[in-house]
Structure 1
């Protein structure tokens, strides 16, 4: 009993000693940045709208000017972008916690590619076309790939080390990408439908897709937030967590289900957008420390900020068209991944 009490005290000391005194400040800054990103998303695009048009589009439904209608069409895209960014941010934070891998991310571990394979297979062989069908196929692909990568990464001495998981994810992603290409090439109609989705974009966000996405977002977020405290204990090692009465296998399963729900649903509707989970979780960890009770909810806000501002940047760079947001996040995230891999030497969290 005394051993269990001492272990509990050590956990409390570790995380309370990192208790972020500047949490309120960070939260306020994130809130301000989120508000600015929302305004930018509504105002910037192939057509720049004025402040008056922005007000008319948001608050004066009887105004029928072109600018006001442009703003109204951008509202659903902005909301969709916020939700997708939040989902990917939390998914990345959960994957890093479950695998104890500081560079874990749905795109790095091959989960996005697994979802892509199942979606393209659904288009080619089952003629799927609705958002609801896309989600279920993507969830199945994401779940199977996550289990496969973790299983491969767990083989051999040392179990699922960060380096082995990244290598397993990279190899799996490469193999699945080849399968995606093999399915698409002989079927031009599949390629036409799939190629724009594959890049990753929030441009197709509509109220229908938001409503379809919302249940998966809510369930995944709740599971992630409620498992945060137990995941803090898991960060100290399986033995310590077991001493504290935590069922580590069940905890990993719950957190993994949450991550797959968030990642799979987002990938189904917006395509495989990479690096959001990596960027958002590390930004919050850098400011507030290792406590997942703060990292997980604030990763949702930072993920929403990063994806929304990336979408705005893509619209500005590609004007009068647009550069897909998946290209922008890859351009930003790839150098960060290299820096983190060099700095952290892919050590465990």
Structure 2
């Protein structure tokens, strides 16, 4: 670290925006001070060696990301969603690390920047393949495991079935418990790919039915801790949130950021790969509710934090580049001021 970087670091500190914070430095130094995340938006190194500390090859990305992935897993709750941005090959190299730390793959969303992204960047006489105009944003959720009576840990699907079997009741009685024709056995107790996460009201009905008609037990049926009766609110938080938007697929056609939204430097763009706010808005609103916490470990210009602020979520972000940190700070302050003015006008 140079003397200049040291002096810059001494001049900067964590900036706070009500319940949110933007820290100057490595996110690993701040994770333990941040509130538990509902959403983590990771838009870190792609293995291009474009800034100090970034690996110069995608092959080094797994090792680089490993301590961050471990910290995310430690802080995450069962309802946490991780969006991992990268190139296709970059993601492929980091995926095993994500899996090893208990992140379950859900889907790969593709950002299609469109044909205009090729203009000026492709020499048809030398290129030996199709021009690349995409990046991926891969959605992961936390792998949740619960303890059976024998102490073994299993996934929620297996656990729900095991709890019903513990009652000694026939499977089809679950339908009577839930007041349905066959949905309980077909959706909630099946072990095939058609399994549904039981809603809280169905779980409460099955727990009450087993307690009344099942084998006597000192361990409450469907108890998450083996001691207390089922808590419906806690049960709803046992899976990641998802607020569905009709008409949105896993291919996001959106041009690269230009115009007023793009941050400029003295020569060219300030950030080489600024993400569209519209995509950040979608990710955060789809995976969280008002008042939830959004982590942006590799802030850059903090587009995810801006989206969180605009949608009434709290954000916790970090950035190591002084220029990016300053630009992000100004950007967030401006958004916060605009929102305060809007609230005053509305009142």
TM norm structure 1:
0.24
Structure with higher strand content: 2
Higher radius of gyration, 1 or 2: 2
Q: Comparing both structures, which one devotes a greater share of its residues to helix?
A: 1
Q: TM-score, normalised by structure 2?
A: 0.24
